[in-house]
Structure 1
Amino acid sequence: MKLTRLLAAVAATAALSAGFAAQAREYSVSTVLSDAFPWGQAAQKWAELVNERSEGRITLRVYPNAQLVAGDQTKEFSAMRSGLIDMAVGSTINWSPQVPELNLFSLPFLMKDNADLDAITQGEAGKLSFAAIEQRGIVPLAWGENGFREVSNSRKPVRAPADLAGLKIRVVGSPLFQDTFSALGANPTQMSWADAKPALTTGAVDGQENPLSVFDVARVDQVGQKYLTLWHYMADPLIFAVNQRVWKTLPEEDRELLRQAALDAGKWEVELSRSQQAKRLEDIRSRGVEVVELNDAERQAFVDATRSVHEKWAPKIGDKLLDAARSAIAKP
């Protein structure tokens, strides 16, 4: 009798262990930057929170440097939608070819500061942006941020559109960026970041545009970028998201766990990123970079020079979303 009970207990334990193993799951998470940058740290924080809160039952394995799409960050959204990637902490810029509404955040000089950005992402415009993503087979969970993008070059300080005339500026693979820099008189040159640093080193291109975190961590000043203009011409929010088919397989409690962990990781990363800006700028200046900060009149000249870009891209973004964004910014 005792042996029978013992065998039954062993069988029950084995069944429980098998059940736990069956429930334990690992998912891939794509990011473009590693955890040397706030972007990569956001994905890592999400993975840590999910692992901790699920008590190891759910593992998010982070794949940085766009390695799941062979370095082509603009293919990340499509790869996630097709199921090659389970989840991602992605950029509105990189996803905009598949979700045109996300070009909202790349409109030049739409937002002045973090308050404007928060008004958009945390309001009706943010909800509409998430709805546009969900319509394409991806479930968005939370916002993070890659920061406002600034412009640098190797030739001269930039205070007015005329200062950009003829400069070869490396830009990401988005037609909107081409239109923006063309409107400013520059010569935009599309290339990957892997190709950009050698091109900056040799002088094949004169400048580039990126958030301060990228300029700082990637030491862009070491490839001839001695002039940096803080013009906040656009912001690049990050989005924590899950493939829709993966999402549908999850029980409700796991969906809520993933969503809340994403919200918490996003909030943590936004605070981290913003808290580092002053120190990053101080370090960049200490390395001999000349930093230009535009006054209101100087900024307005850039606003005026890029109005045609807004007019061209408004139909692609949609009036409802644009109106919601502009209304949010206009509120005191």
Structure 2
Amino acid sequence: MTTTRHVTRLATVLTGAAVLSFSLAAQARELSVSTVLPDAFPWGQAAEKWADLVEERTDGELTLRVYPNSQLVSGDQTREFSAMRSGLIDAAVGSTINWSPQVPELNLFSLPFFMPDEAAVDAVTGGQAGEMVFEAIESRDVIPLAWGENGFRQLSNSQGPIDEPTDLEGLKIRVVGSPLFQDTFDALGADPTQMSWADAKPALTSGAVDGQENPLSVFDVARIDQVGQEHLTLWNYMNDPLIFAVNRQVWESLDEAQQTILRETAIEAGEWEIAMTREQESERLAAIQERGVEVTELSDDQLQAFVEATRNVHDDWIAQIGESLVEAAQADIESR
């Protein structure tokens, strides 16, 4: 009789444990997070940091699974926002450049020579213009949570130093799939060639394109100098903030506590990544120079020549971006 009761109790305990285990498993939820670059780059590290913080703060109740290399959109980074908007992707740490075809307001950050330094970028993302950009994203059924940073984009090529617009004449430069980039390099006399990042390095290796533009972190980690890019011009012609965001339906399916954690951890991961990216800039530049890359730093007069050469591009794109947004950004910059 005692043995029977013992077995019965044991079965009850095991059943209860199984039910509890099933209940916890049912409560746990995994969200997909898309990024273009893996965690060898600050961009990918930002997404991984976000995932780590979310898992820690929710005790695993909510987890983020990071999918780098744009694998959720078959390598086409310009489709990332559309996929998130439609629900094929739950969340992303994405580039303002890559999302700009679907959110024209994001072209603000790609206006040539509009934001002169990091303080200007911070003034815009943290000011009225930043709020307006987030409102534009949210109006398209994606909830923006925080800012990160891919950095100022620099110009490299395999043909020779570039310190004036005429040096770009006829050079085939790989650019992302954004009409604003096409217009900018057309104005400089180059031959812009649109292709995804997945195709860029092979094209540089084969000589199908002469140059490319990317932040120092990408140039350094991807070892772009190994594919003939022996000349680098520091011109800070545009900045590429990153945005942490979530599909609206996914966001609304979360409870208030989960939403708070997701937003707070995104902000924390973004601040961490921005600081890290900026702190590493001088170290990366030194490493690039040590590998034999010729670095050209423009004087104020040389930089102004590029500004003048692209002024019409700036003026033409204001209407597409939104005059009120550009004016708000200008006011933010002037108030920094």
TM superposition score category, shorter chain reference: over 0.9
CA distance in 2, matches of 1:279, 1:106: 25
Kindly indicate whether residue 259 of structure 2 is the aligned counterpart of residue 255 of structure 1.
Answer: yes
Q: Deviations over 1:14-66 (max 9, x none)?
A: 54433322210011000000000000000000000000111111111000000
Match in the other structure for 1:105: 109
Match in the other structure for 1:312: 316
CA distance in 2, matches of 1:245, 1:291: 47
Choose the corresponding residue for 2:192, options 181, 188, 194. 188
Choose the corresponding residue for 2:297, options 274, 293, 298. 293
Task: Out of 201-210 and 53-62, give the one that drifted further.
Answer: 201-210
State the 1:8 CA deviation.
6.8
State the 1:198 CA deviation.
2.1
CA distance in 2, matches of 1:82, 1:15: 35
Match in the other structure for 1:177: 181
Residue 61 of structure 1 aligns to a residue whose secondary structure is strand
State the 1:125 CA deviation.
0.7
What letter matches 1:131 in structure 2? E
Match in the other structure for 1:321: 325
Task: Out of 163-172 and 141-150, give the one that drifted further.
Answer: 163-172
What letter matches 2:289 in structure 1? R
CA distance in 2, matches of 1:142, 1:196: 29
Residue 273 of structure 1 aligns to a residue whose secondary structure is helix
CA distance in 2, matches of 1:208, 1:31: 20
Match in the other structure for 1:243: 247
State the 1:165 CA deviation.
1.2
Choose the corresponding residue for 1:225, options 226, 229, 234. 229
Residue 213 of structure 1 aligns to a residue whose secondary structure is helix
* Map 1:1-332 → 2, pairs under 5 A: 13-332=17-336
CA distance in 2, matches of 1:277, 1:210: 13
Structure 1 stretches of 5 or more lacking a match? none
CA distance in 2, matches of 1:216, 1:108: 23
Residue 145 of structure 1 aligns to a residue whose secondary structure is strand
Q: Deviations over 1:142-188 (max 9, x none)?
A: 00011110001111111111111111111111110000000111111
TM-score by length of 1: 0.96
CA distance in 2, matches of 1:151, 1:123: 29
Question: Aligned-pair RMSD on alpha carbons?
Answer: 1.6
State the 1:101 CA deviation.
0.3
CA distance in 1, matches of 2:176, 2:67: 21
What letter matches 1:303 in structure 2? V
CA distance in 2, matches of 1:43, 1:72: 18
Residue 233 of structure 1 aligns to a residue whose secondary structure is coil
TM-score by length of 2: 0.95
Length, aligned pairs only: 332
CA distance in 2, matches of 1:140, 1:250: 15
CA distance in 2, matches of 1:26, 1:250: 12
CA distance in 2, matches of 1:112, 1:185: 23
CA distance in 1, matches of 2:259, 2:9: 39
